[in-house]
Structure 1
């Protein structure tokens, strides 16, 4: 059984897509453990603010199966097959961690954005603060404490999601 961490983001009808993403993840994986929900500026392009959060789940599925499920969910909510990296998103699901695995296929694990983006690192530190980044040998709490918080602005916002199959 692997502990996995997934980043969710949206800046198009963001409340709706975050809720739908959480529903789809519940359908795929069962019980979710949720970080806080954050509002952050778009990074890498001029666009509307994003909602972002991280979800933790336990799964028996392989890394390849998880990656396929996440892409399928994204596509079912309007993500284009040829979406540019820095562009608006209905729903963006990125697998951040899959147990202690380090790999580049079928996805980059641990995800490079963990240490580069506050909207990934802060919520991950909330859920997995004591875990150690597998290549940096520092906990996610340490990485968050050392992060330049002037680099990207984000704030916590209320999460509205009516689902009983979650932990806070």
Structure 2
């Protein structure tokens, strides 16, 4: 069984798409943990604030199958692939970690956003703080404790 961590984000009809994405993930991975949900400002473009969280589960699925599933759930929620990198999203599901796999295809693992963005790192630390990032040897909790980017602010929200 592989331990996986998936970031969930939405800023277009965000409550509906966020809940739909979470529900779909639970259907496929019923034994899961879910972080708190945070609101954050968009990074790299002007737009509506995002809802973000991290979903953790174990799976027998291959990394390729997990990536295909995430793309399907995004499409089912109106995501059009090929959009600009920094743009509004109905639903954004990113595989952050798949055990200690390090690769570039079918996804960048571990995802470099982990150490760069508070909206990924804080919720990941809640459900995967014990995990050691295979590229640095540091735990997610230690990375969060040393994180400093005053431009990125988060607000916990209840859905």
Q: Shorter-chain TM-score: what band?
A: over 0.9
Rounded Cα–Cα distance in structure 2 between residues aligned with 1:75 and 1:119: 22
The alignment status of 1:145 with 2:142, answered yes or no, reads no
Counterpart mapping for 1:62-141 below 5 A: 62-141=62-141
Identify unmatched segments of 5+ residues in structure 2. none
Identify unmatched segments of 5+ residues in structure 1. 161-168
The alignment status of 1:22 with 2:22, answered yes or no, reads yes
Q: Show the counterpart of 1:32.
A: 32
Q: How many residue pairs were aligned? A: 159
Q: How far apart are residue 135 of structure 1 and its match? A: 0.7
Q: How far apart are residue 27 of structure 1 and its match? A: 1.7
Rounded Cα–Cα distance in structure 2 between residues aligned with 1:87 and 1:31: 32
Rounded Cα–Cα distance in structure 2 between residues aligned with 1:89 and 1:28: 22
Q: Show the counterpart of 1:61.
A: 61
Q: How far apart are residue 81 of structure 1 and its match? A: 2.1
Consecutive aligned runs of 4 or more in structure 1 exceeding 4 Å deviation: none
CA RMSD of aligned residues (A): 0.9
Normalised to the residue count of structure 2, the TM-score between the two structures is 0.97
